[in-house]
Protein backbone atom coordinates (compact mmCIF):
# COMPACT_ATOMS: atom_id res chain seq x y z
CA UNK A 1 0.00 0.00 0.00
CA UNK A 2 1.36 3.45 -0.90
CA UNK A 3 1.92 5.96 1.89
CA UNK A 4 -0.65 8.30 0.29
CA UNK A 5 -3.25 5.53 0.15
CA UNK A 6 -2.42 4.45 3.70
CA UNK A 7 -2.78 7.99 5.07
CA UNK A 8 -6.05 8.45 3.21
CA UNK A 9 -7.40 5.19 4.63
CA UNK A 10 -6.28 6.10 8.15
CA UNK A 11 -7.96 9.53 7.98
CA UNK A 12 -11.16 7.90 6.70
CA UNK A 13 -11.06 5.45 9.60
CA UNK A 14 -10.62 8.26 12.16
CA UNK A 15 -13.56 10.17 10.69
CA UNK A 16 -15.69 7.03 10.80
CA UNK A 17 -14.90 6.39 14.48
CA UNK A 18 -15.63 10.02 15.31
CA UNK A 19 -18.90 10.29 13.37
CA UNK A 20 -20.33 6.93 14.41
CA UNK A 21 -19.10 6.62 18.00
CA UNK A 22 -18.22 10.19 18.96
CA UNK A 23 -14.73 9.08 19.91
CA UNK A 24 -12.28 11.97 19.86
CA UNK A 25 -9.20 10.52 18.14
CA UNK A 26 -7.32 13.79 18.62
CA UNK A 27 -7.08 12.94 22.32
CA UNK A 28 -4.32 10.47 21.42
CA UNK A 29 -0.94 10.90 19.79
CA UNK A 30 -1.21 9.61 16.24
CA UNK A 31 1.59 7.08 16.76
CA UNK A 32 -0.26 5.56 19.74
CA UNK A 33 -3.56 5.59 17.88
CA UNK A 34 -2.05 3.81 14.88
CA UNK A 35 -0.31 1.23 17.06
CA UNK A 36 -3.54 0.29 18.82
CA UNK A 37 -5.59 0.15 15.62
CA UNK A 38 -2.86 -1.88 13.92
CA UNK A 39 -3.03 -4.42 16.73
CA UNK A 40 -6.72 -5.01 15.98
CA UNK A 41 -6.00 -5.24 12.26
CA UNK A 42 -3.35 -7.91 12.85
CA UNK A 43 -5.85 -9.95 14.87
CA UNK A 44 -8.28 -9.70 11.96
CA UNK A 45 -5.48 -10.50 9.48
CA UNK A 46 -6.08 -7.28 7.55
CA UNK A 47 -3.43 -5.08 5.99
CA UNK A 48 -5.27 -1.92 4.93
CA UNK A 49 -7.29 0.63 6.85
CA UNK A 50 -9.88 0.53 4.07
CA UNK A 51 -10.41 -3.17 4.68
CA UNK A 52 -10.70 -2.52 8.39
CA UNK A 53 -13.39 0.11 7.77
CA UNK A 54 -15.33 -2.57 5.90
CA UNK A 55 -14.93 -4.96 8.81
CA UNK A 56 -16.33 -2.38 11.23
CA UNK A 57 -19.35 -1.96 8.95
CA UNK A 58 -19.98 -5.70 9.19
CA UNK A 59 -19.13 -6.35 12.82
CA UNK A 60 -20.37 -4.32 15.82
CA UNK A 61 -18.43 -6.75 18.03
CA UNK A 62 -15.17 -5.68 16.37
CA UNK A 63 -16.17 -2.04 16.88
CA UNK A 64 -16.49 -2.62 20.63
CA UNK A 65 -13.18 -4.51 20.71
CA UNK A 66 -11.53 -1.57 18.94
CA UNK A 67 -12.92 0.94 21.44
CA UNK A 68 -11.71 -1.27 24.29
CA UNK A 69 -8.24 -1.27 22.74
CA UNK A 70 -8.25 2.49 22.24
CA UNK A 71 -9.44 3.36 25.74
CA UNK A 72 -7.37 0.72 27.59
CA UNK A 73 -9.79 0.77 30.49
CA UNK A 74 -8.04 0.77 33.84
CA UNK A 75 -10.30 0.72 36.87
CA UNK A 76 -9.11 2.60 39.92
CA UNK A 77 -10.12 5.32 42.33
CA UNK A 78 -9.82 8.91 41.06
CA UNK A 79 -9.06 7.72 37.55
CA UNK A 80 -8.02 10.79 35.54
CA UNK A 81 -7.15 12.98 38.52
CA UNK A 82 -7.84 16.34 36.81
CA UNK A 83 -11.49 15.35 36.35
CA UNK A 84 -11.92 14.70 40.05
CA UNK A 85 -10.03 17.87 40.90
CA UNK A 86 -12.57 19.77 38.80
CA UNK A 87 -15.43 17.97 40.56
CA UNK A 88 -13.89 18.93 43.90
CA UNK A 89 -13.10 22.55 43.02
CA UNK A 90 -15.88 23.49 40.57
CA UNK A 91 -18.90 21.23 40.78
CA UNK A 92 -19.24 20.61 44.52
CA UNK A 93 -18.71 24.23 45.72
CA UNK A 94 -21.11 25.63 43.10
CA UNK A 95 -23.68 22.93 43.71
CA UNK A 96 -23.61 23.53 47.46
CA UNK A 97 -23.88 27.28 46.94
CA UNK A 98 -27.15 26.85 45.06
CA UNK A 99 -28.42 24.26 47.55
CA UNK A 100 -27.84 26.63 50.44
CA UNK A 101 -29.37 29.75 48.90
CA UNK A 102 -32.42 27.69 47.88
CA UNK A 103 -32.57 25.92 51.26
CA UNK A 104 -32.61 22.53 49.56
CA UNK A 105 -31.28 19.59 51.55
CA UNK A 106 -31.29 16.81 48.96
CA UNK A 107 -28.16 15.99 46.91
CA UNK A 108 -28.43 13.28 44.25
CA UNK A 109 -25.60 11.97 42.09
CA UNK A 110 -25.79 9.33 39.35
CA UNK A 111 -22.77 7.27 38.31
CA UNK A 112 -23.94 5.66 35.05
CA UNK A 113 -21.89 2.64 34.04
CA UNK A 114 -20.26 2.45 37.46
CA UNK A 115 -18.50 -0.89 36.84
CA UNK A 116 -16.83 -2.12 40.05
CA UNK A 117 -17.64 1.03 42.02
CA UNK A 118 -14.45 3.07 42.16
CA UNK A 119 -16.06 6.12 40.57
CA UNK A 120 -19.06 6.51 42.90
CA UNK A 121 -16.93 5.80 45.95
CA UNK A 122 -14.42 8.44 44.78
CA UNK A 123 -17.21 11.01 44.44
CA UNK A 124 -18.55 10.12 47.89
CA UNK A 125 -15.11 10.78 49.38
CA UNK A 126 -15.01 14.22 47.76
CA UNK A 127 -18.41 15.20 49.18
CA UNK A 128 -17.49 13.82 52.60
CA UNK A 129 -14.23 15.77 52.64
CA UNK A 130 -15.98 18.98 51.54
CA UNK A 131 -18.88 18.82 54.00
CA UNK A 132 -17.47 16.68 56.80
CA UNK A 133 -20.07 15.75 59.41
CA UNK A 134 -22.47 18.26 57.84
CA UNK A 135 -23.00 15.82 54.97
CA UNK A 136 -25.41 13.92 57.19
CA UNK A 137 -27.51 17.07 57.53
CA UNK A 138 -28.44 16.49 53.88
CA UNK A 139 -30.28 13.68 52.18
CA UNK A 140 -27.24 12.66 50.15
CA UNK A 141 -26.95 9.57 48.04
CA UNK A 142 -25.27 8.33 44.90
CA UNK A 143 -27.17 6.04 42.53
CA UNK A 144 -24.55 3.81 40.88
CA UNK A 145 -25.81 1.75 37.95
CA UNK A 146 -24.53 -0.88 35.57
CA UNK A 147 -25.96 -3.70 33.46
CA UNK A 148 -23.52 -6.30 34.81
CA UNK A 149 -24.91 -7.86 37.99
CA UNK A 150 -21.66 -9.65 38.82
CA UNK A 151 -19.63 -6.45 38.74
CA UNK A 152 -22.31 -4.70 40.81
CA UNK A 153 -21.84 -7.36 43.50
CA UNK A 154 -18.12 -6.59 43.46
CA UNK A 155 -18.93 -2.89 43.83
CA UNK A 156 -21.20 -3.55 46.80
CA UNK A 157 -18.41 -5.46 48.55
CA UNK A 158 -16.15 -2.42 48.15
CA UNK A 159 -12.87 -4.34 48.48
CA UNK A 160 -9.97 -3.17 46.31
CA UNK A 161 -6.33 -3.94 45.63
CA UNK A 162 -3.44 -1.62 46.38
CA UNK A 163 -3.21 -0.77 42.68
CA UNK A 164 -6.89 0.19 42.52
CA UNK A 165 -6.49 2.63 45.43
CA UNK A 166 -3.08 3.97 44.37
CA UNK A 167 -4.57 7.43 43.69
CA UNK A 168 -6.13 7.66 47.14
CA UNK A 169 -4.11 9.73 49.61
CA UNK A 170 -2.81 8.06 52.76
CA UNK A 171 -5.04 10.34 54.82
CA UNK A 172 -8.12 9.15 52.96
CA UNK A 173 -7.03 5.52 53.09
CA UNK A 174 -6.66 5.73 56.86
CA UNK A 175 -9.94 7.58 57.27
CA UNK A 176 -12.26 5.81 54.86
CA UNK A 177 -10.86 2.28 54.36
CA UNK A 178 -10.14 -0.78 56.47
CA UNK A 179 -7.12 -2.93 55.66
CA UNK A 180 -8.26 -6.52 55.13
CA UNK A 181 -5.90 -9.32 54.07
CA UNK A 182 -3.68 -6.98 52.10
CA UNK A 183 -6.62 -5.25 50.43
CA UNK A 184 -8.66 -2.14 51.21
CA UNK A 185 -12.35 -2.22 52.12
CA UNK A 186 -14.49 0.91 51.95
CA UNK A 187 -15.93 1.69 55.38
CA UNK A 188 -19.65 1.50 55.98
CA UNK A 189 -19.62 5.22 56.79
CA UNK A 190 -19.03 5.80 53.05
CA UNK A 191 -20.93 2.81 51.67
CA UNK A 192 -24.16 4.05 53.22
CA UNK A 193 -24.30 6.91 50.72
CA UNK A 194 -24.27 4.68 47.63
CA UNK A 195 -27.09 2.63 46.16
CA UNK A 196 -25.94 0.14 43.54
CA UNK A 197 -28.60 -1.08 41.11
CA UNK A 198 -29.02 -2.78 37.76
CA UNK A 199 -30.00 -0.29 35.06
CA UNK A 200 -29.54 0.00 31.31
CA UNK A 201 -28.81 3.61 30.42
CA UNK A 202 -30.11 2.98 26.88
CA UNK A 203 -33.42 1.23 27.48
CA UNK A 204 -33.99 1.41 31.23
CA UNK A 205 -36.51 3.60 32.99
CA UNK A 206 -35.79 7.32 33.11
CA UNK A 207 -34.62 8.30 36.58
CA UNK A 208 -34.84 11.96 37.55
CA UNK A 209 -33.85 14.79 39.86
CA UNK A 210 -30.07 14.43 39.79
CA UNK A 211 -27.64 17.22 40.58
CA UNK A 212 -24.67 15.47 38.97
CA UNK A 213 -24.49 12.71 36.36
CA UNK A 214 -21.20 10.99 35.55
CA UNK A 215 -21.15 8.86 32.41
CA UNK A 216 -17.53 8.39 31.47
CA UNK A 217 -16.14 6.12 28.74
CA UNK A 218 -19.47 4.47 28.07
CA UNK A 219 -20.90 6.59 25.25
CA UNK A 220 -18.02 5.81 22.89
CA UNK A 221 -19.36 2.27 22.54
CA UNK A 222 -22.64 3.57 21.12
CA UNK A 223 -23.83 5.02 17.84
CA UNK A 224 -24.30 8.77 17.51
CA UNK A 225 -28.06 8.24 17.25
CA UNK A 226 -28.07 6.34 20.53
CA UNK A 227 -25.82 8.97 22.10
CA UNK A 228 -28.36 11.62 21.10
CA UNK A 229 -31.08 9.65 22.85
CA UNK A 230 -28.99 9.23 25.99
CA UNK A 231 -28.03 12.91 26.17
CA UNK A 232 -31.74 13.76 25.87
CA UNK A 233 -32.41 11.37 28.76
CA UNK A 234 -29.68 12.99 30.84
CA UNK A 235 -31.19 16.44 30.22
CA UNK A 236 -34.51 15.19 31.57
CA UNK A 237 -32.80 13.48 34.49
CA UNK A 238 -30.84 16.54 35.62
CA UNK A 239 -32.13 19.27 37.87
CA UNK A 240 -31.71 22.84 36.57
CA UNK A 241 -28.03 23.80 37.05
CA UNK A 242 -27.22 20.08 37.24
CA UNK A 243 -23.85 18.88 35.94
CA UNK A 244 -22.94 16.23 33.37
CA UNK A 245 -19.43 14.74 33.27
CA UNK A 246 -18.41 12.56 30.31
CA UNK A 247 -15.14 10.85 29.38
CA UNK A 248 -12.16 12.85 28.19
CA UNK A 249 -12.13 11.08 24.83
CA UNK A 250 -15.86 11.69 24.34
CA UNK A 251 -17.77 14.61 22.84
CA UNK A 252 -21.33 15.85 22.97
CA UNK A 253 -23.33 15.29 19.82
CA UNK A 254 -24.09 18.52 17.91
CA UNK A 255 -27.72 18.28 19.02
CA UNK A 256 -26.77 17.90 22.69
CA UNK A 257 -24.18 20.69 22.48
CA UNK A 258 -27.00 23.13 21.75
CA UNK A 259 -28.72 22.20 25.00
CA UNK A 260 -25.90 21.96 27.55
CA UNK A 261 -23.75 24.81 28.84
CA UNK A 262 -20.02 24.17 28.61
CA UNK A 263 -18.29 24.47 31.99
CA UNK A 264 -14.87 22.88 31.42
CA UNK A 265 -13.93 21.63 27.94
CA UNK A 266 -10.71 19.96 29.05
CA UNK A 267 -12.48 17.83 31.67
CA UNK A 268 -15.71 17.44 29.66
CA UNK A 269 -17.99 19.06 32.23
CA UNK A 270 -21.34 20.50 31.15
CA UNK A 271 -24.36 21.96 32.91
CA UNK A 272 -28.09 21.97 32.28
CA UNK A 273 -29.17 25.61 31.97
CA UNK A 274 -31.50 26.78 34.73
CA UNK A 275 -34.05 27.96 32.19
CA UNK A 276 -34.29 24.60 30.41
CA UNK A 277 -37.37 22.73 31.55
CA UNK A 278 -37.95 19.26 30.07
More confident residue, 250 or 24: 250
pLDDT of residue 1: 54
Span 129-142, average pLDDT: 96
The total of other beta-carbon atoms located within 10 Å of residue 92's CB is 21
pLDDT band at 239 (very low <50, low <70, confident <90, very high): very high
Q: How confident is the model at residue 222 (pLDDT cuts 50, 70, 90)?
A: confident
- Segment 12-22, tens digit of pLDDT: 999 999 888 87
pLDDT reading at 213 higher than 70: yes
pLDDT at 2: 60
Per-residue pLDDT tens digits for 186-210: 999 999 999 999 998 988 898 999 9
pLDDT (tens digit per residue) in 20-39: 887 777 766 688 789 999 99
Residue 170 pairs in a beta bridge with none
Q: pLDDT for 67-95, tens place per residue?
A: 878 866 567 899 999 999 999 999 999 99
pLDDT given for residue 72 in this prediction:
62
Residue 271 has pLDDT above 90, yes or no: yes
Query: Max CA-CA distance within the chain?
Result: 67
Give me the chain's average pLDDT, please.
92
Of 106, 165, 161, 170, nearest to 138 by C-alpha is 106
Q: Which domains does the chain have, with CATH numbers?
A: 3-71 (1.10.155), 81-271 (3.40.50.150)
**What pTM, to 2 d.p., does this model score?**
0.82
Over the stretch 56-72, which tens digit does the pLDDT of each residue have? Answer: 999 989 998 898 788 66
Rg (CA), the chain: 20
Distance CA 57, CA 176 (A): 47
pLDDT in tens, 154-192: 999 999 999 999 999 999 999 999 999 999 999 999 999
How many distinct helices (H) and strands (E) make up the chain? Answer: 12, 10
- How many other CB atoms are found less than 10 A from the CB of residue 143? 19
Q: What pLDDT does residue 223 have? A: 81
H-state helical runs in 78-200: 81-86, 92-101, 118-131, 149-157, 170-176, 188-191
Amino acid sequence: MSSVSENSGFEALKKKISSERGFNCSYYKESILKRRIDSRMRRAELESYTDYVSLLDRSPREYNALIDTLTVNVTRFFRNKPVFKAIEEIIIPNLMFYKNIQSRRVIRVWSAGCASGEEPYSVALLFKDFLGDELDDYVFFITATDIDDNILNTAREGIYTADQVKNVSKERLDKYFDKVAGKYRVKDSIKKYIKFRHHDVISGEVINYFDVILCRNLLIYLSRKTQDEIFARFLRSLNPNGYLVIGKSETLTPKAAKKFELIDLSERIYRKPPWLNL
